[in-house]
Amino acid sequence: EALRGVSSWMEMDRRYVWHGMVTHQAAKNPLAIVAGEGAYVVDLDGRRYLDGMAGLWCVNLGYSQPKLAEAAYAQLNTMPYYPLTHTHLPAIQLAERLNEWLGAEYRVFFSNSGSEANEVAFKIARQYHAQRGEAHRWKILSRYRAYHGNTMGALAASGQFDRKYRYEPLAPGFVHVPPPDCYRCPFGRTPSSCRLECAHHIDDVMRWEMDETVAAMVLEPVITGGGVLVPPEGYLKAAEEICHRHGALLIVDEVICGFGRTGAPFGHQRLGVKPDIVTMAKGITSGYLPLAATAVRKDLYDAAFARDDDEHAHLRHVNTFGGHPAACAVALATLDIMESEHLVDRARDLGDALARELERLRGLPAVGDVRSFGFLAGVELVEDRDAKTPATAAFASQVVAECRKRGVIVGKTGDTTPGGHNVITLCPPFVVSEEEVRHMVDVLGDALDALM
Ligand code: PMP
């Protein structure tokens, strides 16, 4: 196979493979990755890249973990498949381990993707209220700029309108509030004059929408895909208090922020909240196999779903591959490695190092803001630092390309109006060294210098 020339593979790719979101990624000029080693990937030409994005925010353990491959192989040889309409041991073990990671008792429903985990969360929230005689509670609140998935409900919850255009109408009942954006505060505040207006606004929206129509609010601890928007201190706790005061559930989307990325097992733990529902995917298997989970607090489950007297009181959602035994086995092996190698602590230390290194970029003319939370960072590019004029998405794409030329993969996201991608993102695997963190930032600095 390797004898086929590079150009013919790419020609076949252009002919047969349909890549989504070409405006987001370099899909017009994709890398053909053929191998991975640690935090590095290798393309068809044999070029090595330091992967500053862990694939798509997921390969937290890097690309060469034989224990993950062995776990999948062993499981496929013992019991390759059985559906979770019945049960199997890898799912039972994983649900129990997730309870340990969550630090509280949750019921876990397994599915295949972050999008589906969120769809399930929305169904559970609506059904929870309906079971309790409040079927009129069906709206879901979320933030502009946040991404929660690509299916008709998860996309409706997403506040990224460039992804929705020409696919509407989506699922009804989704209401957006402004994001916590401390660099371009939608309420005209600065960090020193901030009174958490973005959180208190949720309270207003609850009233304006009539709170008795609201089932839940869904939030990521940090808005990742919409530009790495780190909320002001106290924001998530305030949102939790507001949701509960209005009788709505709090769903926390940990698809990116979970499994150590923020320097805590889950991002919500770092921010001191106790979600009613937690959704997870991506890092749960370190990206090695598809798996997702929706965890519901036990008391909510008991209050609405654990009832024999009501034939409708069960979750009417099942799928063929959700909680696939091989994926659960890989997830268990992922958690084993995370624990035995203390990778949550390591992610926190690497995050501190990344934040320190990124400070060096603050003086550059194209850099408007630098934000990080745990081992996750965004660098917002501007044309004019005083006026905060956003850099164009074309400029950000050039930065991504310059980094790639220098052997480092970085991501790009941002304000999600069309053409509004001006934030360079970093979300590296936890297996990089501090030296490699420094190198990524050096390369980003060189790329910016080369373009100015
Ligand atoms: N939620 C968040 C926060 C995400 O970043 C993503 C994917 N980038 C999703 C949900 C959807 O996950 P998936 O792509 O697995 O459907």
pLDDT tens-digit readout, 279-310: 999 999 999 999 999 999 999 999 999 888 88
- The pLDDT mean for the chain works out to 95
Mean pLDDT score, 129-138: 96
pLDDT at 23: 62
171-184 residue pLDDT tens: 999 999 999 999 99
Å from CA of 115 to ligand 1 middle: 6
CATH topology of domain 67-340: Aspartate Aminotransferase; domain 2 (3.40.640)
CATH topology of domain 6-64+343-451: Aspartate Aminotransferase, domain 1 (3.90.1150)
Å from CA of 241 to ligand 1 middle: 25
- Distance between CA atoms of 265 and 269, rounded to whole angstroms? 7
- Distance between CA atoms of 109 and 302, rounded to whole angstroms? 14
Backbone phi, psi, residue 41, to 5° = -120, 155
Report whether pLDDT(130) > 80. yes
The burial class, CB within 10 Å (0-12 / 13-18 / 19+), for 192 is exposed
With H, G, I as helix, E, B as strand and everything else as coil, classify residue 32: coil
Report whether pLDDT(358) > 70. yes
- Distance between CA atoms of 5 and 120, rounded to whole angstroms? 44
**How large a percentage of the chain has pLDDT more than 70?**
96
Residue of the CA atom closest to atom 12 of ligand 1: 114
Domain boundaries, the chain: 6-64+343-451, 67-340
Q: Which of 83-87, 231-235, 241-245, 303-307 has the lowest mean pLDDT?
A: 303-307
Residue of the CA atom closest to atom 14 of ligand 1: 114
191-208 residue pLDDT tens: 999 999 999 999 999 999
Å from CA of 394 to ligand 1 middle: 24
- Which residue type is seen at 217? M
5 — pLDDT class (breaks 50, 70, 90): low
Mean pLDDT score, 313-335: 96
pTM value surpassing 0.90:
yes
Angle at 272 between CA 126 and CA 131, to 5 degrees: 15
Higher-confidence position of 332 and 3: 332
pLDDT at 250: 99
Å from CA of 107 to ligand 1 middle: 21
pLDDT at 27: 57
Å from CA of 149 to ligand 1 middle: 5
Q: Which of 154-158, 204-208, 394-398 has the lowest mean pLDDT?
A: 394-398
Structure tokens at 226: 């919409």
In degrees to the nearest 10, what's the CA dihedral of 178, 295, 237, 350? -90
Å from CA of 236 to ligand 1 middle: 20
- Distance between CA atoms of 259 and 254, rounded to whole angstroms? 8
Q: Which atom of ligand 1 is nearest to the CA of 113?
A: 15
| DSSP designation for 172 | S
Q: Which residues line ligand 1 (CB under 6 A)?
A: 113-115, 118, 147-150, 220, 224-225, 253, 255-256, 281
Beta carbons of 63 and 430 less than 8 angstroms apart:
no
- The best mutation among 147, 158, 259, 321 to test binding of ligand 1, ranked by most ligand atoms within 8 Å of the C-beta, falls on 147
| DSSP designation for 219 | E
Which residue in the block uniquely carries the two structure tokens 């990671």? 101
169 preceded by cis ω (within 30°)? yes
pLDDT at 179: 97
H or E segment and range at residue 408: strand 408-409
Q: Which atom of ligand 1 is nearest to the CA of 56?
A: 8
